[in-house]
Amino acid sequence: MKRAISFAVLLAAASLKLNAQEVVQQNVKSIENAIGQVTKLEPVSFNYDTAWAEKLKLSARPQYGFVGADAKAAVPGIVSVQAKAYSSGKNAFKNATITKVDYESLVPLLVASIKEQQEQIEQLKAELNSLKSRNTK
């Protein structure tokens, strides 16, 4: 009986693999001026207000991130506003809004900015070597 179940699970898993469809990415573009966008972000540490943290079940511990409005001004695509329900009495609920930064979406921007910086470093090295070789002649 155990082998029959294992075979059925294996067969079901194999059929799932056959039915998988790859999602095609469209409008693929390089990220331009990543350093300009990243340098506008101001990392901060903060705590959520204790009463709101309790109501919305947010961590009261120190957090690291960005002020939502500032991050939205710098890189609008990484910020969203979420409504979060909280109890306001017996069988009554209200909504509060929380600005959320999508840190996973920030990673490609950070990688692009590192690549831009590395390109600048390489250009500066070449310029420095050029100046050094002129001075030794």
pLDDT, tens digit (0-9, with 9 covering 90-100), for 92-127: 888 999 999 999 999 999 999 999 999 999 999 999
In the structure encoding, which two tokens stand for residue 37, read together?
A: 């966008």
pTM greater than 0.85 (yes/no): no
**What is the reported pLDDT for 43?**
96
Residues 6+ apart with CB under 8 A from 113: 34, 35, 37, 38
Using one digit for the tens of pLDDT, what is the confidence trace for 41-96?
999 999 999 988 888 989 989 999 999 999 999 999 999 999 988 888 888 888 99
Q: 36's torsion region: left (phi>0), alpha (psi -120 to 50) or beta?
A: alpha
Using CA atoms, how far apart are residues 131 and 60, in angstroms rounded to an integer? 55
